[in-house]
Amino acid sequence: MWMDWDVKDVNYKLIDTQRIIDYITSFPKGISVESIIQNSGADKLRVYPALFELEQSGWLEVLEREELGAPSVVRKRI
């Protein structure tokens, strides 16, 4: 049976961002970005861009950064 929607209509960025949000919310004290990449279910190439957008929107707080500025530990902004 063929579906009414087309694969090109699926917004994978939105789906992955929601997976990341759901995962981060499970760890109110903070979670490593490595853990998000390994366990959230989001595509690993979408994690850093999503974290950047979430930080810019004010939803995300970066607790620790790597030497070049990439987030290494994050949490939902309180």
Q: Which residues contact 13 (CB under 8 A, 6 or more apart)?
A: 46, 50
For domain 11-76, the CATH architecture is Orthogonal Bundle (1.10)
71: three-class secondary structure by DSSP: strand
Query: Tens digits of per-residue pLDDT, 32-51?
Result: 999 999 999 999 999 999 99
User: pLDDT tens digit string along 54-78?
Assistant: 999 999 999 999 999 999 999 999 8
* Alpha carbons 33 and 20: distance in angstroms, whole number: 10
pTM metric for this prediction: 0.87
Closest CA to 71 of 63, 23, 54: 63
Contact 59, 77 (CB under 8 A): yes
Rounded to an integer, what distance in angstroms lies between the CA atom of residue 33 and that of residue 73? 6
